Amino acid sequence: MKRALFYFLMVGISLLTFANEDWKKDKFKWENLLADKNNSKIITAGDINGDMKDDIVILYNKSSNESLVALISNKDSYEKINFDFSSSDVIGSSELKDVSKIKVENNQIKCLLNFEINKLMNNMSGTSETELSIIYTENTLKLNKIITTGNKYGSICQIDYDVLNGHILYNYLQKKEKVGEINGYYYDSYSRVIARKLSSEIPINSDLNKWVLISKENKLENNISNINITYGFEKWRNNFDITGKYYLSYDNENIYIIVDVIDDIFKQSNSGDKMLKGDHIELWFGTESNDKYQIGLNPGNFNNIKPEALLWFNKSSATSKKALTSVTVNSKKTDEGYVLEAKIPLKSLNLSQINEINKFTLVLSDSDFSDNQEKVLTSSSLTWGSLYSLGEIIWK
């Protein structure tokens, strides 16, 4: 009964369901699978699509090409619902534990599977019974959450992976034992970002609409544990104060990013190295050869101070006032904050291949009432200059 849980079917925001005629063509296939009570489960009144009458059918079959198939009843037929590409990317080839360990709860499909922990993050060990939470939205099944336990640097931690937002939270069971590399810091929040390759060049004009079909949206918000505000939490008020979402992509020569920042008080009156006194964005990249790069992106003031890019940390040493003139930066003011888009040539970091980069953390820096950084919101629990504290980036 060892079959892949999810298959990468096609790139897109959502995948189309099988039409009713397709179901009729495969009617005997579905009927035969449903008759096998050991390898299929029918959940009556499992109303995950909100019409108050649907049955949810989960098929787990050792002779099927797909080990997990979701069907939603439609009168006298079933429509097959596919998984979106990000769910497939995250899970890969895990195995469903037991067909009886599937249920619908709070409009989510929950199931138990065997999952290799190191697929979540490097340097983790253990294969554990792992709980999945799957939501049904926009005619697509989307992986929502992974909950499991693993071993990290000799310490046991519980893992809560918010897949839709790209964050992994670690709760170490023995807090007295510091976890990490040589410096021994805790991992509190960890992001895993998937960047997809562009099929053609895009204009850098701060237009969010074009990104919907290009890449996956990644949200960046503070959470109830207060761990994504890595500096100045005492000055943080709410997610209208500072939050955002971003998209990442690439081609053979460049990295592309657009960030939609929500900030109720925008303040930036500086340029160059002094941009850190106002609202700005930072990008931290890490490579397999343990090099680190910190890029500052200044949105400007939408008047006489123009958008710009600056390199603050280069490989193993801090630098300052090194303008990245080859980086294209565009920004625009919005009713809720601002949008910034950038095209970063690999050559500006003296890199030749995108796969050299394997670490990434996004930083939103906010200054409301003073000429200094007041609060910093990060996609991972960033420790300045420490490579291991950066999140993971995967180039697809």
Tell whether 157 and 214 lie within a shared domain.
no
Sign of the C-alpha dihedral computed for residues 24, 25, 28 and 30 taken in this order: negative
Q: pLDDT of 93-127, one tens digit each?
A: 566 777 778 888 777 888 887 777 776 666 677 76
- pLDDT for 353 equals 95
Question: Which domain CATH number covers 247?
Answer: 2.60.40.1190
Tell whether 157 and 248 lie within a shared domain.
no
pTM recorded for the entire structure: 0.74
Number of domains in the chain: 2
How high does pLDDT run on average in the chain? 79
Q: How far apart are CA 381 and CA 364, in angstroms?
A: 13
Token digits of residue 9 = 């079917």
Cα radius of gyration rounded to whole Å, the chain:
23
Span 196-211, mean pLDDT?
Answer: 95
CA torsion 261-262-266-271 (nearest 10°) is -10
Tell whether 146 and 220 lie within a shared domain.
no
Residue 311 CA to chain centroid, in angstroms?
Answer: 25
Q: How far apart are CA 206 and CA 68, in angstroms?
A: 40
Token digits of residue 221 = 């918000």
Out of 172, 188, 214, a domain closes at 172
Out of 172, 205, 238, a domain closes at 172
Side chain identity at residue 288, one-letter code: E
Residue from 87, 96, 89, 92 nearest 58 by CA = 96
Q: pLDDT of 247-276, one tens digit each?
A: 999 999 999 999 999 999 999 999 999 999
Token digits of residue 144 = 């929502």
| 102, containing H or E segment | strand 102-105
Tell whether 249 and 332 lie within a shared domain.
yes
Span 39-67, mean pLDDT?
Answer: 68
Tell whether 238 and 349 lie within a shared domain.
yes
Tell whether 129 and 210 lie within a shared domain.
no
Tell whether 216 and 360 lie within a shared domain.
yes
Q: pLDDT of 306-323, one tens digit each?
A: 999 999 988 877 776 789
Tell whether 124 and 234 lie within a shared domain.
no
- pLDDT for 118 equals 73
49 pLDDT more than 60: no
With 0-12 CB in 10 A as exposed, 13-18 as middle and 19+ as buried, what is 63?
Answer: exposed
DSSP 6-64: ------SS--PPPPHHHHHHTHHHHHHHHH-TTSEEEETT--TTSSS---EEEE--TTS
Out of 155, 172, 189, a domain closes at 172
Residue from 94, 78, 72, 1 nearest 32 by CA = 78
Tell whether 85 and 214 lie within a shared domain.
no
Residues near 246 by Cβ (< 8 Å), separated by ≥ 6?
217, 218, 220, 257, 258, 259, 260, 362
Looking at the domain assignment, is residue 9 inside a domain? no
4 pLDDT more than 80: no
Token digits of residue 6 = 């999810």
Residue from 89, 187, 184, 125 nearest 390 by CA = 187
Q: Residue 154: count other Cβ atoms within 10 Å of its Cβ.
A: 8
- pLDDT for 135 equals 84
Looking at the domain assignment, is residue 15 inside a domain? no
- Is residue 257 within 8 Å of residue 208, measured between CB atoms? no
Domain span including residue 212: 197-395
